Amino acid sequence: MAWRRRCGHRTIVGCRITLTKPTTMLPKLTPLPDPTSAHAELNPAPRLLMGPGPINADPRVLKAMSTQLLGQFDPQFRRMMRETMALYRAFFETQNDWTLVLDGTARAAIEMVMLSAIEPGQKVLVCSFGRFGQLLNEIALRCGAEVRVLQAPWGTVFDLAQIEAAIKDFSPRLVAVCQGDTSTTMLQPLAGLGEICHRHGALLQVDATASCGGTPLPVDAWQIDAVTAGLQKCLAGPSGAGPITLSDAMARCIYARRHIEEGLQPADYKPGAGKRIASNYMDMAMIMDYWSDAGLNHHTEATTMLYGARECARIFVQEGLPQVYARHAAASTAVVAGVQAMNLQVYGDVANKMPNVTGVVIPDGINGEKVRGALLNHFNIEIGTSFGPLAGKVWRIGAMGYNARPDAVMQTLGALDVVLAAEGHHFARGAGVDAAYAVYQSASA
């Protein structure tokens, strides 16, 4: 509605704006009950994190992360970057040159690799057997890919023949799959899948966030083109850095899309033949230039996170891969023996269960969230629930990384014994701890 108003010698002409009620409601933010708490020194209650991750960081990792900062082009820091690459080659059992650590959580690593490898319209086959297979689908769709999802019932995994049949039918450029999916606690067998993919002209990307470090993942032997991971589970570090490794074929695929940003382009610069990667921060080709001898500036490196990632891999390699995997297998066996002795059922296909996370069916008549709350509030122990169709139906008990220890396992089972008894669950008191202890005694004999 137009209006006029005299203001001295001037006439102001305008219109009245009518505000309408917004149709999009923003998420709710509850204010702090005591705003002064923001000024208090951090001193959280000490928790034993026995869920699906994150878990307690190894104290040596936290110590490394308190190291004084360096500039990202300091020769000392560039040497540390090379050391980190070497350590993660040993961790992933690979000779891949492009083995490094990305700044960002494991999800950022998945997206960075997929966004950089796949041009809009290219085909991606996602093999999904849980919540994080659904995430791979979500990311592939956001990359503009033509996506087909091969779905396995939750609690199961794929036979490789199923995947090969889908590859033959769809002819994807990329096959994406999780090794372990914490939502279902299942572990997908991968030996032979890389060869199948390559035989049919596809690259293989594996999300190993939930499983790497707790179970073998020989990248070269299994012919995997890209693996993305995180620190916060079996590597016993904090979330915030994503170790990755890329085969030569995957690295060439990504680098064919290389486009250096203005201000950094050398005189002889020629862009890659492929379509420019849609994100600047998620541009894996520019990250490769950053980590390379050229050292082209991209972002300010998260120095403290790199210190932590380096220490995670150093500890792992120092302990030895066979020893780490055996430690996780023993913890898994002890947890399974313990919960079964407490008259609890292990969820899903136990033959294909992840060694570092165990799904436990919540018994009828037991309030799962009340049990989790009692463990947290009375014993400072955290275990997980799950997502989607399994929300409120299973607990997830993790025993991984720094927490894959006899004392952590038996402390958790002992606390669960007390809480379940208080909730009226029927079982032989102390049987869970006794069963777990027997497993460890047998392993050390």
- Strands across the sheet with 357-361, in order? 345-346, 357-361, 394-398
The per-residue pLDDT for range 392-420, each reduced to its tens digit, is 999 999 999 999 999 999 999 999 999 99
Q: Give 58-124 as a DSSP string.
A: PHHHHHHTTSPP--TT-HHHHHHHHHHHHHHHHHHT---SEEEEEES-HHHHHHHHHHHH--TT-EE
Cα Rg of the chain (Å, integer): 25
271 and 393 in a single domain? The answer is: no
- Please tell me what DSSP assigns to residue 54: -
At residue 166, the pLDDT reads 98
Q: Check whether residue 196 and residue 149 sit in a common domain.
A: yes
Please compute the mean of the pLDDT values over residues 295-306 and round it to a whole number.
95
Percent of the chain exceeding pLDDT 90 equals 91
pLDDT given for residue 202 in this prediction = 98
Same domain, 236 and 375: no
- Among candidate residues 272, 299, 317, the one where a domain is terminated: 317
Last residue of a domain, one of 317, 337, 370: 317
- Alpha carbon distance 264, 354 (integer Å): 45
Answer yes or no: do 95 and 125 share one domain. Answer: yes
Give me 32's structure tokens.
Answer: 């702090």
pTM of the full predicted structure? Answer: 0.92
At 22 the three-state DSSP class reads: coil
Q: How far, in Å, CA of 100 to CA of 84, rounded? A: 7
Range scoring the smallest mean pLDDT among 3-12, 91-100, 272-281, 415-424:
3-12
How far from each other are the two terminal CA atoms of the chain, in whole angstroms?
A: 88
- For 399, the domain range is 321-444
Contacts by 329-332, CB closer than 8 A, 24 or more apart: 329/355, 330/404, 330/439, 330/440, 330/443, 331/355, 331/356, 331/399, 331/400, 331/404, 331/405, 331/409, 332/356, 332/358, 332/399
Confidence check: pLDDT of 153 > 70: yes
> What is the tens place of the pLDDT at every residue in 157-191?
999 999 999 999 999 999 999 999 999 999 999 99
Any domain includes 49 = no
Please check whether residues 173 and 264 belong to one and the same domain: yes
User: What percentage of the chain has pLDDT greater than the value 70?
Assistant: 95
Distance CA 234, CA 356 (A): 8
Confidence bin at 18 (pLDDT 50/70/90): low
Residues 194, 222 contacting (CB under 8 angstroms): yes
Tokens of 311: 């220490």
Same domain assignment for residues 235 and 369: no
pLDDT digits (tens, 9 = 90+) for 330-384: 999 999 999 999 999 999 999 999 999 999 999 999 999 999 999 999 999 999 9
User: Which CATH number fits the domain that encloses residue 339?
Assistant: 3.90.1150.10
Domain count along the chain: 2
Residue 63 β-bridge partners = none
Residue 154 CB partners (closer than 8 Å, separation 6+): 129, 130, 183, 184, 348, 388, 389, 390
φ, ψ of residue 430 in degrees (nearest 5): 85, -10
Q: Is 157 a domain residue?
A: yes
Sorted by sequence, the CB contacts under 8 Å of residue 352 that are 6+ apart come out as: 156, 157, 186, 187, 188, 189
Domain boundary among 317, 339, 358: 317
Residues 208 and 298 grouped into a single domain: yes
Helix (H, G, I), strand (E, B) or coil at 36: helix
Token couple for 47: 């928790």
Mean of per-residue pLDDT scores for the chain: 95
Question: Does residue 293 sit in the same domain as residue 349?
Answer: no
Q: Is residue 39 part of a domain?
A: no
Could you report the per-residue pLDDT of 227-271, keeping only the tens digit for each? 999 999 999 999 999 999 999 999 999 999 999 999 899 888 999
Together in a domain, 352 and 253: no
Judge whether 110 and 139 are in contact, CB under 8 Å: yes
Residue 20 lies in a domain: no
154 in any annotated domain: yes
- How far CA 321 is from CA of 60, 191, 213, 217, 243, in Å, comes to 18, 18, 8, 10, 17
Q: Establish if 40 belongs to a structural domain.
A: no
* Same domain as 214, residue 235: yes
Do 177 and 290 reside in the same domain of the chain? yes
22 pLDDT exceeds 80? Answer: no
CATH number at residue 232: 3.40.640.10
Q: Are 122 and 256 found together in one domain?
A: yes
Residue 218 confidence (pLDDT) above 80: yes
Q: Is residue 23 part of a domain?
A: no
| Mean pLDDT on 71-82 | 96
pLDDT band, residue 304 (cuts 50/70/90): very high
pLDDT in the model for residue 387: 87
In a domain, 95, yes or no: yes
Tokens of 253: 């695929």
Would you state the pLDDT for residue 195? 98
